[in-house]
Chain A
Amino acid sequence: MWHNFEIFAIISVVAWILAIGTSLSDKMGKIANLTAILGTLSLAVFIVLLWTNLHRPPLRTLGETRLWYSFFLAISGYVIFKRWKIKLMLMYSLGMAILFLLLNYLNPDIHSKTLMPALQSIWFVPHVIVYMIAYALLGLSALFGLLGLYVIRKDNLKEDFVLKTDNIVYVGFGFLTLGLIFGALWAKEAWGHYWTWDPKETWAFLTWAVYLIYIHFRIKSNLSHKKVFLILLLAFVVLLICWFGINYLPAAQNSVHVYSS
């Protein structure tokens, strides 16, 4: 199935580039909507085909998780675009989605490897999908952080903007919490205990805790916005370590989450 990847990826990438380009113009809003949806649909079709072809959810290798990441980035970016009319968010999320497809194309971590028994669980799809949504939203919040730092320099930061950022963090953090708990429930069924401080679990906990700190710092806080955004960016760095930096850490060598053998 992966040999058809290029076709679907090209449709997605071209459509998304069109969406990014046309979203800049108010007159071409319809085209932006259509192409954003078309690109996402193309990827969705590829995921469905891959899923049927592999006889298992395509959620095990880094290459496969990148597909979902692109997919949910595109969706959440589009939804936020529709709700808050922030063009930059559509551009950012579609841009990131394109980047992940390109990564898959240039450096294919593509095994048609089959699922080991410990991964065959009803918790698999919900666990990974809520994480993909959480990561997508928190990725977006990191961009809000960067944007916020930029706007502060221009000295026209609006309180509404910070509230929007907080809301994205809240929703992303919610999904992150679900991901942790689903993972724990799954671990109990597969390994006999819900929490073993496996390196991936440890980093997932750290990520969760840093966002928790962010959320609490933002309550009735008089912390400067600059510091707030910096914490948000730090949180995203921890998230990135948890997501793929962990494969290179000495503490992670025995992690049950290191899939490649």
Chain B
Amino acid sequence: MQNTKEKKSLWVLPWRYSESFLIAFALLLASLGLEFITGTKAPKISWPANVISLVLLANISLLLYLLSKKRTFFKWFYSVPASIAGIILFVVPSLSMALVPQRQTDSLFFLFDVTSSWTYTIGVTFFLIILGTVTIKRITKLSKRNIGFFLNHFGLWLCIAAAHLGAGDIQKLNMYLEEGKTIWYGVENGNSTEELNFAIKLRDFSIEEYPAKIAFVDNKTGEIINQNNKPLMIDPNKGLQFNYKDYDFKIEKLLMSSAPVLNRFEPVLGMGATQSTMITKSYNGMVDTFWISSPSILYHQVMYSIDSSTIMLMTEPEAKRFLSEITVYEKAGAVYDTIIEVNKPIKISGWKIYQTSYDETMGRWSTKSILELVKDPWLPSVYLGFFLLIAGTFYLIWTGKRKEEV
């Protein structure tokens, strides 16, 4: 493709890349100026201001499109250079977030608290106006080949708009449960409480663990020994035989829940019970039988010195599931038992409820469980945007790029 167009002066219509980038740059400076002059964050909006803003945003795009029929100038708003300027204005604040650790701050929001800054707000707003105008322009010529375009552009517009405007309406509460107690309120931001139209009784909180591993540890450094560049760890199974240096080992017993009794371990279920293994070591015809165990809140970890430089022990088991078994009492009268665990939130009267924490000092013996309750009324709109975008993406993957677009 040869560039046959003559070089045109700046700001002569139609605007192309130079003008678009200058506009993006000017908006960026303006937003920084706004932050320095006002010294404030961009306002956080919630119902009903966010719905009004959404309608306003859509109407600005519609107006720009309609004006473009009258005046060439407005065609810029759905031009490719304007689109790229829009993406860049969204990207620049994101780059701040990508490089600078974010925190609560009283100044320099554009660096440390980007999502509250004017830079970010103006960037997203400009991006949405351009994206909206582009979408409206194409939707007026709805054809088969425009379907993919519409799905991608409108899908993106919907999820970005709904996610940002809806952020102010998200409600988050914590519920601090204790075994046997019935709680009917949530705590907001650590202080104010809000009464709920349901109550939850924690019947049992528990952590399921993976089997602990047997590890060989260097006596001096306390680090797990590497062999062939791999940490020397073994998944214990009853009857498993393995060797280290000239020693042969065999796992005789494996207890998932046990406690020390004299110099051995016995199966118990009570608090502080730990995993333990009975192993025999054979070396030059000499046989030694010993126990090792995982650390526990109640008992010392039992280790075994293989020789002067090496210790054998059981690692701290890793958690497999955190779960709260609860009874729910709804105001309407329904009473039922259910389970909440990580990655498996439940829904009760408009709230999505997550397992978030427990009493970490007690580990699997915790009798407390902390739940998070989230209400996000804009979620369906965001998800609709996601699914339109997914559909559009399949279209994109299927068709690739058409030749006439080059």
Contact = CB atoms under 8 A, between A and B. Distances in A.
Interface of A: 2-3, 107-108, 110-114, 116-118, 120-121, 159, 162-163, 166-167, 170-171, 173-175, 177-178, 181, 184-185, 188-195, 197, 199, 202-203, 205-206, 209-210, 212-213, 216-222, 249-251, 253-254
Interface of B: 1, 3, 5, 80, 83-84, 87-88, 90-91, 94-95, 97-102, 114-115, 163, 170, 172, 210, 213, 228-231, 233, 235, 318-322, 341-345, 352, 354, 356, 372, 374, 376, 379, 382, 386, 389-390, 393-394, 396-397, 400-401, 403, 405-406
Given A210-B91, A218-B406, 13 more contacts: A117-B342, A159-B1, A166-B406, A171-B396, A175-B397, A190-B342, A202-B94, A206-B98, A218-B401, A220-B405, A222-B3, A250-B101, A251-B100
Contacts of A205: 94
A112 B1 contact: no
Contacts of B83: 216
A178 B172 contact: no
B343 A181 contact: no
B396 A173 contact: yes
Contact of B94 (A108, A111, A206): A206
A110 B98 CA distance: 28
Contacts of A250: 99-101
Contact of B91 (A174, A188, A206): A206
A116 B405 contact: no
A221 B98 CA distance: 29
Given A174-B393, A195-B163, A206 B343 contact: no
Contacts of B390: 177-178, 181
Contacts of B379: 188, 194
A212 B3 contact: no
Contacts of B98: 199, 202-203, 206, 249, 251
The 8 closest A-B pairs by CB, nearest first: A174-B397, A117-B342, A167-B400, A222-B3, A202-B98, A174-B396, A166-B401, A177-B393
Contacts of A213: 84, 87-88, 91
Nearest to B229: A108
Contact of B97 (A222, A251, A253): A251
A177 B394 CA distance: 10
